[in-house]
Amino acid sequence: MSAITGETAALGAALCWAFTSVFFTEGGRRAGSAVVNRMRLLAALLFLAGAHFVFFGSLYPIHAEAERFFWLGLSGIVGFALGDSFLLESFVRIGTHLSMLIMSLVPIIGATIAWVFLGERLEPLDILAVALTVAGVMIVVLDRRGGTPSNGHRQYLTGILFGLGGALGQAVGLALSKRGLGGDFSGLSATLIRVSAAAPLIWAVALLRGKVGYTFSLSGKSGAIRFIALGAFTGPFLGVWLSMVAVQNTYIGIASTLMALPPILLLPIAKFYFKEKVTMVSVLGTFLAVAGTALVFID
């Protein structure tokens, strides 16, 4: 994948994540988000190790420097074990389109973190972009909330909060992974390190809670396993691999912006597959939010 440009890889990741959100939503509605999270990381680990053996002749990048292991491992824990746990629950509670729309805040959150903690300056155009993105998300949130029954408002609100937690986890995870991707280090190796850090943590928690047998049993009996396997291939395996290639080969802002496109790609899927009500207000808010993320990184 070294011949793929960063921009092309970012677009490929966006396509993968659009389909991944569909697969994991279906799996989560059958078995629950926690089961999906455990099984998808296990499946992704197998996919990644196999691909690593095919491309590099080893199952794991054991010769990577300790500093890379630290930053990529920390990135995996923050992004996969924490952030994606929130995102998967958001899929179940409020659906794919709105959850992924909230994820378009990732570049905005990243820029804000850099402003607050790293002293990076936000220009007037950046502030306008932040306002557009937040406004776009709020338009869709309020439009969708208006059609939510009163007994569903609590689930809707918690779904929004879970989505915000997922966005924060991904923004911080991307920033951390950038620290571990210096030089010409393979995006596949980086993704394998990230997943191999998150998966043991997730399964250790399951073991302590006595949920290991339950996880395998429910994922098989509920019919969720096929959706989990498909989502693991397009998401933690192929999609995240492409995202690492994108982060490594182009500016993180450009990569984040292109990878924020799934909400637009999911509009027809939400309407025709999930039978969600997609209004013109929702469409306008979606395009406004994605346009805002792009505007952040215009030089």
Q: What is the pLDDT of residue 241?
A: 86
* DSSP states of 227-252: HHHHHHIIIIIIIHHHHHHHHHHS-H
Q: What is the pLDDT of residue 116?
A: 78
Q: What is the pLDDT of residue 52?
A: 95
* DSSP states of the chain: -TTS-HHHHHHHHHHHHHHHHHHHHHHHHHH-HHHHHHHHHHHHHHHHHHHHHHHHSSSS-TTS-HHHHHHHHHHHIIIIIIIHHHHHHHHHHH-HHHHHHHGGGHHHHHHHHHHHHS-PPPPHHHHHHHHHHHHHHHHHHHHHHHTS-GGGHHHHHHHHHHHHHHHHHHHHHHHHHHHT--TT--HHHHHHHHHHHHHHHHHHHHHHTT-HHHHHHHHHHTS-HHHHHHHHIIIIIIIHHHHHHHHHHS-HHHHHHHTT-HHHHTHHHHHHTS-----HHHHHHHHHHHHHHHHHT--
Tens place of pLDDT for every residue, the chain, 299 residues? 555 788 899 999 999 999 999 999 999 999 999 999 999 999 999 999 999 999 999 999 999 999 999 999 999 999 999 999 999 999 999 999 999 999 888 878 887 877 777 677 778 887 888 899 999 999 999 887 756 655 578 899 999 999 999 999 999 998 888 888 877 788 889 999 999 999 999 999 999 999 999 999 999 888 899 999 999 999 988 998 898 888 788 877 778 778 878 999 999 999 989 888 889 999 999 999 988 877 776 65
Q: How far apart are the C-alpha atoms of 86 and 259, rounded to whole Å?
A: 19
Q: What is the pTM of this model?
A: 0.87
Alpha-carbon Rg for the chain, nearest whole angstrom, is 18
